[in-house]
């Protein structure tokens, strides 16, 4: 009788040509030699032990218990076996710590992102608490609050599981996650920097965290984002009692179902000011930059996981007398997905490089502006790509891709969160316009041209032309839109930001392709660049806002 063969995974580092080739380019060979054992080990865990547990843990979900047997309110969260193992592995392997130990200066962030990239797809989004933990450590350090740094940061960046703390990030309220300036949580002053918080937080992920950074409005402060202050909370006291926090319920979500995301009431929660009594939205920005980087790395890691499974399956599944891997149309389909994800990979890791430079204090002014601009661009571009690739990957499996116990549908459900949290596509597109400010795109244009400087292979001429033409169009569109009326640039912001993102992706892929050709005699990145160049880089269109209103009325 015919038997279907499921896809399998090998060592997720050793099998990943794109990651390995990239690391060979950006890391000095001595550094690569030193870190490679950590990546091989993480690749082994991700393809084997963690992946097997992920499959067997599929139906388990976190549980919230409100009351103990004796009538005491406990609001206890129990996470699943996969998450318990994921936490231990993450801590012992330094998936957060590596960025702070800085063994390789600014490139430690690249090393850490490579670990996170290998780790994430086998852990059902354990990357969520890690991202917020990393972001909280960075924020406390950036705010320079020595007391809180001494108290919390060693726990956030430890490699000792029994010492490890995770951090939550509680911003979103019922009034809105995008427009957080509307937040209603009130901070009542107690003494010095100590306050008590009263309000409701509407989305709080990884609610088992020991600490959280949150926003609240000190009494008497004006409305709007500037009137909010940034607070540090320890969620439980030494006896394990919650800090006047009620966990009302866990969200019943489409995906990320292993992540306990809660609705909370803060009812006199003890909190400490992190920095100043206002400007909380500005002060929490380092956290958002780090979680957006993690979001991008998670996006490319989920794309890679989907492709690793689909590529393997294509060699096993036969239809019409041959394996799928031999069918021209299936080859073409997979190649399109590979090119798209390879381009996305280079943008995500480019932002990791810039982040590392910034953290090590080695970034110049121009690169700092570039980082400010590319963080939202990268997050929004890769988030969208992750969803569309996950959807295509499921189709590559036919009906099996739609069946839960293959472990495949979770890829699509989990990917769908990536364009939503930490700034939706629209919100980040508008942020992209703010980041560009009055300066225009001339500096970014220099960067883009610089990326193409090394190109000498004539096969890369046409992709390079696509980059320059798309960029030129984006620049002309922005100048024109801003001259005519602000609502025009606002209405077209998403198409504009995605064009910038895709253009940068192509330019980075071209640069890598030339390097790979020169140093590895490998033409695969070049083929990916040629393919990606023809997949809709310039998304700017001449749609009028009046037409849009007409369609909707
Ligand atoms: C699984 C999950 C976990 C989460 N975890 C956390 C967490 O731990 N901590 C936390 O603080 N938050 C968390 N969030 C909340 C998340 O960050 C918000 O849902 C998100 O920021 C959007 O906010 P909102 O839901 O209020 O949507 P809204 O802000 O109401 O947005 C609705 C729509 O309007 C669009 N929109 C908004 N403003 C504009 C504009 N000016 N122009 C054009 N379009 C606009 C948005 O793009 C979106 O499509 C989580 C969300 C999810 C789904």
59-70 pLDDT, tens digit per residue, is 999 999 999 999
311 sits in which H/E element: helix 285-314
Q: Where are the beta strands (DSSP E) in 13-70?
A: 63-67
Residue with tokens 């409005």: 217
Distance 421 CA to ligand 1 centre (A): 6
Around Cβ 413, how many Cβ atoms within 10 Å?
A: 14
How far does the centroid of ligand 1 lie from the alpha carbon of residue 427, in Å? Answer: 9
Mean of the per-residue pLDDT values for the chain?
96
419 C-alpha to center of ligand 1: Å?
A: 9
DSSP 214-227: EEEEETTPPSSGGG
**CA-wise closest residue to 351 among 374, 322, 328, 330:** 374
Q: How much is the pLDDT for 485? A: 82
Q: Which atom of ligand 1 is nearest to the CA of 206?
A: 8
The backbone torsions φ and ψ at residue 263, rounded to the nearest 5 degrees and listed phi first, read: -105, 135
pLDDT the model gives residue 3: 85
Residue pair 105/28 in contact by the 8 Å Cβ criterion: no
Q: Cβ(334)–Cβ(314) under 8 Å? A: yes
Predicted confidence at residue 544, as pLDDT, reads 87
The interaxial angle of helices 17-26 and 29-47, nearest 10 deg, is 160
CB of 189 closer than 8 Å to CB of 218: yes
Give pLDDT, residue 472: 95
Cα-to-centroid distance, 167 and ligand 1 (Å): 20
Beta strands in 117-193 (DSSP E): 167-170, 186-191
The pTM of the full predicted model, rounded to 2 decimals, is 0.98
Residue 304 confidence (pLDDT) above 90: yes
Taking only the tens place, the pLDDT of each residue in 42-91 is: 999 999 999 999 999 999 999 999 999 999 999 999 999 999 999 999 99
Query: DSSP assignment, residue 173?
Result: B
**Beta-bridge partners for 9:** none
Single out the residue of 439, 438, 383 nearest to residue 414, CA to CA.
383
**Ligand 1 centroid to residue 253 C-alpha, Å:** 14
Q: Which atom of ligand 1 is nearest to the CA of 172?
A: 11
How far is the C-alpha of 89 from the C-alpha of 493, rounded, in Å? 40
334 C-alpha to ligand 1 centroid (Å): 32
Q: How far is the CA of 269 from the centre of ligand 1 (A)?
A: 24
Q: Are 324 and 160 in contact (CB under 8 A)?
A: no
At residue 124, the pLDDT reads: 97
Residue with tokens 């979680």: 291
Q: Which of the listed residues 420, 433, 487, 545 should we mutate to test ligand 1's pocket, taking the one with most ligand atoms within 8 A of CB?
A: 420
pLDDT at 336: 98
Give the chain's end-to-end CA distance (angstroms, integer): 58
- Enter the tokens of residue 338: 């590979």
Mutate to test the pocket of ligand 1, among 233, 252, 427 (most ligand atoms within 8 A of CB): 427
pLDDT at 401 over 90: yes
Q: How confident is the model at residue 516 (pLDDT cuts 50, 70, 90)?
A: very high
For residues 105-133, give the mean pLDDT.
Answer: 98
* Confidence at residue 406, expressed as pLDDT on a 0 to 100 scale: 97
Handedness of CA 505, 20, 128, 338 (dihedral sign): positive
The residue whose C-alpha atom lies closest to atom 52 belonging to ligand 1 is 421
- Average pLDDT of span 24-35: 97
Is the confidence at residue 39, as pLDDT, over 90?
yes
Ligand 1 atom index nearest CA of 256? 1
User: What is the rounded average pLDDT of the residues 425-442?
Assistant: 94
Model pLDDT, residue 443:
87
Output b/e per residue, 162-177; b: 16+ Cβ within 10 A: eebbbbbbbbbbeeeb
Report residues whose beta carbon is within 6 angstroms of any ligand 1 atom: 169-172, 176-178, 203-205, 253, 256, 261, 417, 420-422, 424, 426-427, 430
Q: State which of 139, 178, 266 you would mutate to test the pocket of ligand 1, scoring each by most atoms of that ligand within 8 A of its C-beta.
A: 178
Whether the CA torsion 295, 297, 303, 306 is positive or negative: it is negative
- Across the range 213-230, mean pLDDT stands at 97
Q: What is the dihedral of CA 407, 408, 410, 414, to 10 degrees?
A: 140
Q: CA nearest 113: which of 23, 16, 213?
A: 23
Say if residues 475 and 444 touch (Cβ distance below 8 Å).
no
User: What pLDDT does 440 receive?
Assistant: 86
Q: How far is the CA of 313 from the centre of ligand 1 (A)?
A: 36
Q: Which of 244, 164, 146 is nearest to 206 (CA)?
A: 164
C-beta contacts of 276-280 below 8 A and 24+ residues apart: 276/229, 276/230, 277/218, 277/221, 277/229, 278/218, 278/221, 278/226, 278/227, 278/228, 278/229, 279/226, 279/228, 279/229, 279/230, 280/215, 280/216, 280/225, 280/228, 280/229, 280/230, 280/231
CB 198: neighbour CB atoms within 10 A? 18
pLDDT at 539: 98
Out of 124, 136, 168, 172, mutate this one to test ligand 1's pocket (max ligand atoms within 8 Å of CB): namely: 172
């Amino acid at each position: 009788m015919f038997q279907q063969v499921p896809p399998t995974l090998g060592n997720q580092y050793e099998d990943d040509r794109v990651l390995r080739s990239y690391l060979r380019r950006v890391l000095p060979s001595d550094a690569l030699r030193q870190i490679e054992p950590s990546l091989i080990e993480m690749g082994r865990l991700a393809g084997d032990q963690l992946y097997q547990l992920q499959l067997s843990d599929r139906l388990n979900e976190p549980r919230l218990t409100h009351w103990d047997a004796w009538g005491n309110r406990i609001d206890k969260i129990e996470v699943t076996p996969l998450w318990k193992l994921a936490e231990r592995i993450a801590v012992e392997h330094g998936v957060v710590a590596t960025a702070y130990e800085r063994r390789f200066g600014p490139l430690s962030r690249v090393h850490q992102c490579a670990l996170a990239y290998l780790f994430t797809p086998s852990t059902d989004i354990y990357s969520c608490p890690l991202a917020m933990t990393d972001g909280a450590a960075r924020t406390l350090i950036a705010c320079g609050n020595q007391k809180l740094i001494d108290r919390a940061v060693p726990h956030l960046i430890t490699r000792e599981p029994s010492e490890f703390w995770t951090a939550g990030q509680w911003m979103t309220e019922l009034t809105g996650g995008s427009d957080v300036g509307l937040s209603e949580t009130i901070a009542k002053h107690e003494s010095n920097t100590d306050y008590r918080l009263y309000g409701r937080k509407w989305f709080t992920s990884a609610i088992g965290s020991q600490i959280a950074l949150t926003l609240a409005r000190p009494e008497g402060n004006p409305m709007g984002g500037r009137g909010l202050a940034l607070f540090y909370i320890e969620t439980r006291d030494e006896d394990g009692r919650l800090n006047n926090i009620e966990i009302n319920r866990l969200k019943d979500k489409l995906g990320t179902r292993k992540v306990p995301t809660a609705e909370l009431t803060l009812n006199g929660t003890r909190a400490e000011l992190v920095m100043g009594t206002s400007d909380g939205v500005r002060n929490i920005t380092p956290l958002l930059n780090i979680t957006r980087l993690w979001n991008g790395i998670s996006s490319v890691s989920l794309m890679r996981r989907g492709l690793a499974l689909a590529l393997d399956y294509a060699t096993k599944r036969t239809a019409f007398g041959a394996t799928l891997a031999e069918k021209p149309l299936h080859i073409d389909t997979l190649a399109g997905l590979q090119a798209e994800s390879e381009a996305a990979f280079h943008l995500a890791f480019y932002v990791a490089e810039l982040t590392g430079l910034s953290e090590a204090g080695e970034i110049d002014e121009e690169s700092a502006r570039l980082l400010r601009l590319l963080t939202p661009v990268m997050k929004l571009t890769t988030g969208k790509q992750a969803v569309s690739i996950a959807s295509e990957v499921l189709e590559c499996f036919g009906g099996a891709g739609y069946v839960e116990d293959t472990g495949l549908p979770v890829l699509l459900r989990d990917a769908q969160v990536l364009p939503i949290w930490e700034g939706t596509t629209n919100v980040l597109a508008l942020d992209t316009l703010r980041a560009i400010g009055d300066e225009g795109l001339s500096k970014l244009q220099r960067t883009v041209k610089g990326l193409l400087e090394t190109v000498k292979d004539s096969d890369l001429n046409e992709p390079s032309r696509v980059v320059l033409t798309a960029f030129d169009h984006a620049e002309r569109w922005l100048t024109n839109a801003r001259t005519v009326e602000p609502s025009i640039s606002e209405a077209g912001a998403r198409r504009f930001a995605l064009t910038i993102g895709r253009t940068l992706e192509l330019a980075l892929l071209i640069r890598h392709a030339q390097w790979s050709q020169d140093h590895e005699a490998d033409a695969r990145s070049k083929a990916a660049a040629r393919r990606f160049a023809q997949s809709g880089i310039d998304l700017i269109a001449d749609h009028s806002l009046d037409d849009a209103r007409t369609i909707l009325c």
